Amino acid sequence: MKLITLFDDIQSCIEQSDIILIGIPSAFVINTIGSLPTTVFKNKKILSAIKGILPDQHVLLNEYLETAFHVSIQDYCCIAGPCHAEEIAAEKLSYLTFASLNSELADMIANHFANHYLQTVLSNDVYGVQYAAVLKNIYALGAGIAHGLDYGDNFLSVYITNCFAELQHFMDVISTQTQHHYNTSVYLGDLLVTCYSLHSRNRTFGNFIGKGYSVNATKLELNMVAEGYYASKGIYEISNKINYDLPIANCIYNILWKNESAKTAFEEIEKICH
């Protein structure tokens, strides 16, 4: 039985598929699919594994797909943690959240993933789940920076608690949903595992920054994409657009994009945390 078919042409792959799982790093989505025909996703279901904001336009994937390819949000589902791929590969018990305004779509896709070590959770909070995934990567970068600056676990626990409060308030403001299905594992759980786990690319990226490496040197050293780096700029632009302040996320942005000293920025975060 043939389980995998490889394509060297993305358009042919999409045309021969019913459900399209998009897992491209957010910074490269538009360059990868932007030149495809506007009808390429017609009658397709989309599952997003992207945990970032698309740059320049500063939008979520569903917003970009709707504008560029006329994809209805009813045909869109997003997947979130808390989980790391390393543990799923090792068949350690993990939980995934599938969020869609189309409950039948979310249930159908979730059933394809469920097994004895992978539990699935359904949600209708499409915007909340996606923004939570974006913000937790930014905060995890900050957790790594704090570790690199030699802050201890006591401070880190207070830092993460305040990050979670900031995340919740932001979701309440920006979500277009009238009813939220909050699920602690996808918001707090994903934040915790990304901030604490040694598997976390964002935490590792931040650790280098905290130890004094530049952003460019860190990119070269890790040779991998840390979504929180690009997400920090996207969230900064979005929060300015809606005139909503995210003090902790803004401090991380200033370190990564404005060359502010990590030590100075975290002295400000110390004042924010309580």
Whether 134 and 154 share a structural domain: yes
Give me the pLDDT at residue 3, please.
80
For residue 223, tell me if it sits in a domain: yes
Residues 143 and 260 in one domain: yes
Backbone angles phi, psi at 233, to 5 degrees: -75, -40
Residue at which a domain ends, from 126, 160, 177: 126
Same domain for 104 and 36, yes or no, is: yes
Measured CA to CA, the distance from residue 136 to residue 250 in angstroms comes to 13
The DSSP 8-state label assigned to residue 53 in this structure reads P
The count of domains in the chain is 2
Where is pLDDT greater, at 226 or 72? 72
Q: Which amino acid, 253? A: Y
**Based on the domain organization, do 159 and 224 belong to the same domain?**
yes
Per-residue DSSP letter, 121: E
pLDDT in tens, 191-217: 988 898 888 899 999 999 999 999 999
Distances (CA, A) of 121 to 51, 111, 178, 230: 18, 10, 20, 28
Distance from CA of residue 118 to its chain's centroid? 20
Instruction: Specify the CATH number for the domain of residue 30.
Output: 3.40.50.720
The pLDDT mean for the chain works out to 91
Contact by Cβ (8 Å): 134, 254 = no
Beta strands at 94-99 and 118-123: parallel, antiparallel or unpaired: parallel
- Do 261 and 134 share a domain, yes or no? yes
Listed residues 126, 158, 176: the one ending a domain: 126
Residue 30 has pLDDT above 80, yes or no: yes
Question: Residues 191, 236: one domain?
Answer: yes
Give me the pLDDT at residue 207, please: 95
Q: What is the pTM of this model?
A: 0.90
Q: Is 98 within the bounds of a domain?
A: yes
Contact status, residue 204 vs residue 218, Cβ threshold 8 Å: no
Residues 166 and 138 in one domain: yes
Cα separation of 143 and 249, whole Å? 11
The per-residue pLDDT for 190 is 86
Whole-angstrom distance, CA of residue 260 vs CA of residue 122: 40
Higher pLDDT, 256 or 4: 256
Q: Tell me the two tokens of residue 46.
A: 């989309």
Lowest mean pLDDT across 37-41, 76-80, 103-107, 198-202: 198-202
Range of the domain at 15: 10-126
Residues 145 and 257 in one domain: yes
d(CA 88, CA 62): 26
Residue tagged 């808390």 (tokens): 82
Q: What's the rounded Cα separation, in Å, for the pair 17 and 29? A: 19
- Give 166-182 pLDDT, tens digit per residue: 998 888 887 654 355 55
Q: Binning pLDDT at 50, 70 and 90, where does residue 68 land?
A: very high
Q: Quick check: is 2 in a domain?
A: no
Express each pLDDT in 43-66 by its tens digit. 999 999 998 899 888 999 999 999
14 and 27 in a common domain: yes
Residue 158's Cα: distance from chain center in Å? 22
Q: Are 238 and 162 members of one domain?
A: yes
Helices (H), the chain: 10-15, 29-33, 61-69, 85-89, 103-113, 126-148, 153-174, 184, 190-196, 201-210, 215-222, 227-241, 247-257, 262-272
Q: Do residues 60 and 153 share a domain? A: no
* Last residue in a domain, options 110, 126, 142: 126
In 3D space, the residue among 206, 217, 199 whose CA is nearest the CA of residue 160 turns out to be 206
User: Both 181 and 197 in a single domain?
Assistant: yes
